């Protein structure tokens, strides 16, 4: 099998084992507005649906490897992922070819075992592997780039055009505008097999503004298959001529042209194609039959929500009995659901009120939430509070371990930090491991675990001997080099004037240094750096020219770009309590590891409310947050969930939706 675009795309018999499998097969459907009739499900007849399932199941058990993988994908979207997993898992255990391993791992991951993403990441990182292009394309299909490091490196290499194209697709899908610029530049590439890939991706990731350039570039494309790709990309963008060409090509004599048309009819939501798709269920080409069946199934399901949707929901609403829901964390589970954990306080809003850790799940991206489940009961003399959810570094390419950090408050002079783990998506947890083997008032605020490229786990901690009698804190890190089984305290500490250094967050920079940011009483965000993976720290400094009250800031690396995203309260009043109200809630981006900040945007700005203790993670092409939302009139704290496309943070304030 070759990785050459040229050799691959001119061999129709081997067409789907190539780079194009990722782009064509089950890429995200084109978005339609809620008012569009295409956004609603097509009323597919029961007999047609049954025939689709028969075609897909026959394909799954085909003697040809790649058609069976495509059928696995189709069967999963019908809700029958268990069948797929049962068949493919034994095959993955024995398969030695990295290209095929990517296909197997991808489809197992799609069924709800996202631990299999590790198979593809390890292949992508292996420069000697023959499966790197397949790894990039498979991860693109899954909207998964991990911490982004390997994908950004693949894009930067520039040695192999096919790999760079697929890495750009994965990064562009996750919010990297430079990757999209590169893909758009390739629309006019002299090699038609490069330009057609670029066109296909832009058809998925672009918008109607790309239609004019696609049409202009297509004028110079003579190869019939490549020209069809441009037309299909236009169809994805709701271009009428492109859609008409696609409908016509459903009867094309070329198997590849016809098969791709069958695939795109579903993702472009072309209801007019249904009669011809039904006819193609009996096509001579097995891949064409599978794609027609999958498109019919897709058309019978609702379209995806708009990609730029701003999801903002109060998940935990404060009440008289529970007046405070704060210090939470959100994570994507193996099956794609979200788990949103938070601290539920009882009776009062005091830091020392009785409290426990609870959770809710969402299967629709955070628009609606399940009933509450208890993740950690209140076993402290005062309370249990503050939680962090993270997938821990893995020993294998299969099972993932979910870690949950929490604090047990025994008194004003004693908080202990614990980690407990789950292998069933948080349904149950094992015995807790003590993290803070250093006596005193240790506190790890919510959503603060950082996993370094080396696999070391860092937990930034603020500490005092007594929060009432002393009330002066210093910051340091606990760390683990054995996936959380044992913990050590770093020898270095950071101190500041007045009340000290508080509630730190840490991030690994491009050059390997660790940047710590800290809450203070100085009207700024304090900084310190470590060159030894969190063991010791430099003298404190200040984060650029940003002002802040005495409130924690959250700092993360955006996986698709490697830039830093900061969320904090951009205000300061030296005469006010805590240096000013915790509003607005602001976001900004740094492209130079924190030296300067740009693209400032207001996440929240209602002066009658406050917003703080933000959790932040990245899932697919979105930044997912939670934070307290306090009604200043009642003094009650609810917990808000927020999900925004990564691209939102790079826009200017005036372009806000």
Based on the domain organization, do 282 and 363 belong to the same domain? no
Once rounded to an integer, what is the mean pLDDT over residues 228-232? 96
Give tens-digit pLDDT for 240-251. 999 999 999 999
Would you tell me the crossing angle of helices 255-267 and 240-249 to the nearest 10 degrees? 130
Distance CA 548, CA 567 (A): 11
Q: What is the pLDDT of residue 4?
A: 36
Higher pLDDT, 422 or 1: 422
Dmax (CA) of the chain: 83
Distance CA 574, CA 576 (A): 6
Q: What is the pLDDT of residue 1?
A: 28
Distance CA 74, CA 271 (A): 19
Q: Count of CB atoms within 10 A of residue 82's CB?
A: 12
Q: What is the pLDDT of residue 26?
A: 43
Torsion angle of C-alpha atoms 169, 172, 173, 174, degrees rounded to 10? 130
The conformation of residue 455, written as its DSSP 8-state character, comes to S
Q: Which long-range contacts (CB under 8 A, 24 or more apart) does 32-36 make?
A: 32/238, 32/269, 32/303, 33/306, 34/306
Residue-wise DSSP of 622-637: EEEEEEEEEETTTTEE
Once rounded to an integer, what is the mean pLDDT over residues 162-180? 96
Q: What is the pLDDT of residue 654?
A: 55
Strand-pairing partners, residue 566, are 555, 588
Once rounded to an integer, what is the mean pLDDT over residues 338-363? 98
Q: How far apart, in Å, are the Cα atoms of 582 and each of 327, 556, 625, 629, 646?
A: 15, 20, 16, 10, 24
Q: What is the pLDDT of residue 641?
A: 98
Give tens-digit pLDDT for 557-615. 999 999 999 999 999 999 999 999 999 999 999 999 999 999 999 999 999 999 999 99
Residue 525 lies in a domain: yes
Q: Count of CB atoms within 10 A of residue 533's CB?
A: 19
Q: How far apart, in Å, are the Cα atoms of 244 and each of 41, 217, 236, 280, 510?
A: 21, 19, 12, 18, 48
Q: What is the pLDDT of residue 353?
A: 98
The conformation of residue 578, written as its DSSP 8-state character, comes to G
Higher pLDDT, 91 or 654: 91
Mean pLDDT score across all residues of the chain: 92
Considering 274, 299, 324, which residue would you say is the last residue of a domain? 299
Distance CA 489, CA 480 (A): 9
Token pair for 606: 């209602």
Decide if pLDDT at 627 tops 60. Answer: yes
Decide if pLDDT at 371 tops 60. Answer: yes
Once rounded to an integer, what is the mean pLDDT over residues 143-158? 94
Q: What is the pLDDT of residue 28?
A: 47
Residues 6+ apart with CB under 8 A from 274: 42, 44, 296, 299
Based on the domain organization, do 270 and 364 belong to the same domain? no
Decide if pLDDT at 12 tops 60. Answer: no
Torsion angle of C-alpha atoms 333, 338, 339, 344, degrees rounded to 10? 170
Residue 447 lies in a domain: yes
Residue 181 lies in a domain: yes
Angle among Cα 157, 160, 165 to the nearest 5 degrees reads 85
Considering 271, 299, 327, which residue would you say is the last residue of a domain? 299
pLDDT band at residue 200 under the 50/70/90 scheme = very high
Distance CA 327, CA 614 (A): 8
Q: What is the pLDDT of residue 37?
A: 60
Once rounded to an integer, what is the mean pLDDT over residues 632-657? 87
Once rounded to an integer, what is the mean pLDDT over residues 468-493? 97
Q: What is the pLDDT of residue 399?
A: 79
Percent of the chain with pLDDT strictly greater than 90? 88
Distance CA 72, CA 88 (A): 9
Q: Is 51 exposed, middle or buried (0-12, 13-18, 19+ CB in 10 A)?
A: middle
Report whether 120 contacts 138 (CB < 8 A): yes
Based on the domain organization, do 91 and 117 belong to the same domain? yes
Residue 613 lies in a domain: yes
Once rounded to an integer, what is the mean pLDDT over residues 17-42? 54
Based on the domain organization, do 321 and 294 belong to the same domain? no
Based on the domain organization, do 315 and 463 belong to the same domain? yes
Q: What is the pLDDT of residue 452?
A: 97
Based on the domain organization, do 278 and 352 belong to the same domain? no
Angle among Cα 57, 121, 615 to the nearest 5 degrees reads 100
Decide if pLDDT at 406 tops 70. Answer: yes
The conformation of residue 190, written as its DSSP 8-state character, comes to S
Based on the domain organization, do 463 and 596 belong to the same domain? yes
Q: What is the pLDDT of residue 626?
A: 98
Q: What is the pLDDT of residue 398?
A: 67
Q: In terms of DSSP H, where are the helices of 206-350?
A: 211-218, 224-236, 240-249, 255-267, 274-280, 286-299
Token pair for 646: 């990564």
Structural domain span for residue 43:
5-299
Considering 299, 324, 348, which residue would you say is the last residue of a domain? 299
- Tokens 């202990």: give the residue: 416
Once rounded to an integer, what is the mean pLDDT over residues 355-363? 98
Listed range (349-358, 387-396, 466-475) with the worst mean pLDDT: 387-396
Distance CA 452, CA 454 (A): 5
Based on the domain organization, do 113 and 196 belong to the same domain? yes
Domain count, the chain: 2
Q: What is the pLDDT of residue 306?
A: 83
Based on the domain organization, do 119 and 209 belong to the same domain? yes
Decide if pLDDT at 17 tops 50. Answer: no
Listed range (16-30, 110-124, 624-638) with the worst mean pLDDT: 16-30
Distance CA 501, CA 461 (A): 10
Decide if pLDDT at 33 tops 80. Answer: no
Phi/psi at 510 (nearest 5 deg)?
A: -60, -35
Using DSSP, state whether 209 is helix, strand or coil.
helix
Based on the domain organization, do 478 and 375 belong to the same domain? yes
Based on the domain organization, do 519 and 572 belong to the same domain? yes
Residue 279 lies in a domain: yes
Residue 160 lies in a domain: yes
Q: What is the pLDDT of residue 437?
A: 87
Percent of the chain with pLDDT strictly greater than 70? 93
Residue 305 lies in a domain: no
Residue 304 lies in a domain: no
Of 368, 384, 489, give the one whose Cα is nearest residue 446.
384
Element (H, E) at 516: strand 514-519
Decide if pLDDT at 279 tops 60. Answer: yes
pLDDT band at residue 653 under the 50/70/90 scheme = low
Which CATH number fits the domain that encloses residue 504?
2.120.10.10
Distance CA 184, CA 206 (A): 9
Q: What is the pLDDT of residue 39?
A: 73
Q: Is 424 exposed, middle or buried (0-12, 13-18, 19+ CB in 10 A)?
A: exposed
Once rounded to an integer, what is the mean pLDDT over residues 86-92? 96
Q: What is the pLDDT of residue 13?
A: 32
HSE toward the beta carbon, residue 220, CA cutoff 13 A: 15
Decide if pLDDT at 238 tops 80. Answer: yes
Distance CA 226, CA 247 (A): 17
Based on the domain organization, do 485 and 605 belong to the same domain? yes
Token pair for 245: 């060409």
Once rounded to an integer, what is the mean pLDDT over residues 498-514? 98
Report whether 142 contacts 174 (CB < 8 A): no
């Amino acid at each position: 099998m070759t990785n050459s675009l040229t050799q691959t795309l001119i061999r129709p018999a081997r067409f789907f084992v190539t780079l194009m499998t990722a782009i064509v097969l089950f890429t995200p459907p084109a978005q339609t507005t809620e008012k569009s009739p295409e956004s609603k499900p097509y009323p597919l007849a029961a007999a047609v649906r049954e025939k689709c399932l028969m075609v897909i199941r026959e394909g799954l058990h085909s003697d040809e490897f790649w058609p069976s993988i495509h059928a696995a994908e189709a069967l999963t979207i019908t809700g029958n992922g268990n069948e797929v997993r049962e068949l493919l898992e034994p095959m993955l255990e024995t398969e030695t070819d990295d290209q095929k391993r990517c296909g197997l791992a991808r489809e197992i991951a799609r069924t709800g075992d996202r631990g299999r993403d590790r198979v593809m990441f390890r292949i992508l990182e292996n420069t000697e592997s023959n499966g790197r292009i397949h790894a990039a394309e498979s991860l693109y299909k899954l909207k998964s780039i991990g911490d982004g490091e390997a994908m950004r490196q693949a894009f930067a290499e520039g040695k192999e055009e096919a790999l760079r194209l697929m890495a750009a697709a994965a990064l562009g899908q996750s919010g990297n505008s430079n990757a999209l610029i590169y893909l758009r530049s390739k629309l006019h590439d002299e090699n038609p097999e490069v330009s057609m890939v670029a066109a296909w991706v832009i058809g998925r990731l672009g918008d109607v503004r790309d239609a004019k350039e696609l049409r202009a570039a297509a004028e110079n494309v003579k190869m019939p298959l490549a020209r069809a790709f441009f037309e299909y990309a236009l169809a994805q963008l709701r271009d009428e001529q492109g859609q008409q060409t696609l409908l016509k090509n459903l009867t094309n004599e070329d198997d590849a042209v016809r098969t791709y048309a069958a695939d795109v009819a579903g993702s472009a939501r072309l209801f007019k194609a249904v009669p011809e798709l039904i006819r193609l269920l009996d096509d001579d080409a097995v891949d064409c039959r599978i794609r027609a069946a999958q498109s019919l199934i897709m058309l019978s399901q609702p379209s995806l929500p708009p990609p730029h949707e701003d999801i903002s929901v109060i998940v935990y609403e404060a009440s008289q009995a529970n007046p405070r829901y704060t210090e939470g964390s959100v994570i994507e589970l193996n099956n794609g659901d979200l788990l949103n954990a938070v601290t539920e306080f009882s009776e009062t809003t005091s830091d020392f009120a009785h409290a426990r850790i609870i959770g809710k799940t969402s299967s629709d991206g955070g628009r609606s939430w399940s009933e509450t489940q208890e993740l950690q009961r209140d076993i402290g003399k005062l309370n249990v509070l503050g939680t962090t959810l993270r997938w821990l570094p893995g020993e294998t390419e299969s099972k993932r371990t979910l870690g949950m950090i929490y604090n047990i408050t025994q008194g004003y002079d004693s908080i202990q930090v614990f980690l407990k783990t789950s292998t069933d998506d948080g349904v149950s947890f094992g015995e807790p491991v003590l993290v803070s083997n250093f006596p005193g008032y240790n506190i790890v605020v919510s959503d603060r675990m950082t996993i370094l490229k080396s696999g070391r786990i860092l937990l930034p901690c603020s500490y005092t001997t007594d929060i009432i009698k002393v009330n002066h804190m210093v910051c340091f890190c606990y760390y683990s080099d054995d996936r959380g089984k044992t913990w050590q305290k770093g020898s270095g500490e950071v101190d500041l004037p007045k009340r000290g250094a508080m509630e730190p967050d840490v991030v690994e920079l491009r050059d390997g240094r660790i940047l710590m940011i800290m809450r203070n009483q100085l009207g700024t965000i304090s900084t310190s750096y470590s060159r030894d993976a969190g063991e010791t720290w430099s003298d404190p400094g200040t984060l650029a020219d940003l002002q802040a009250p005495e409130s924690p800031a959250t700092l993360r690396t955006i996986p698709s770009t490697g830039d830093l995203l900061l969320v904090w309260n951009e205000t300061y009043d030296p005469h006010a309590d805590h240096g000013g109200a915790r509003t607005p809630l602001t976001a900004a981006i740094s492209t130079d590891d924190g030296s300067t900040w740009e693209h400032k945007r207001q996440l929240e700005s209602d002066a009658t409310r406050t917003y703080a203790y933000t959790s932040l993670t990245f899932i697919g092409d979105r930044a997912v947050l939670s934070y307290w939302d306090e009604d200043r009139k009642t003094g009650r704290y609810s917990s808000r969930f927020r999900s925004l496309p990564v691209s939102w943070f790079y826009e200017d304030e005036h372009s806000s939706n």
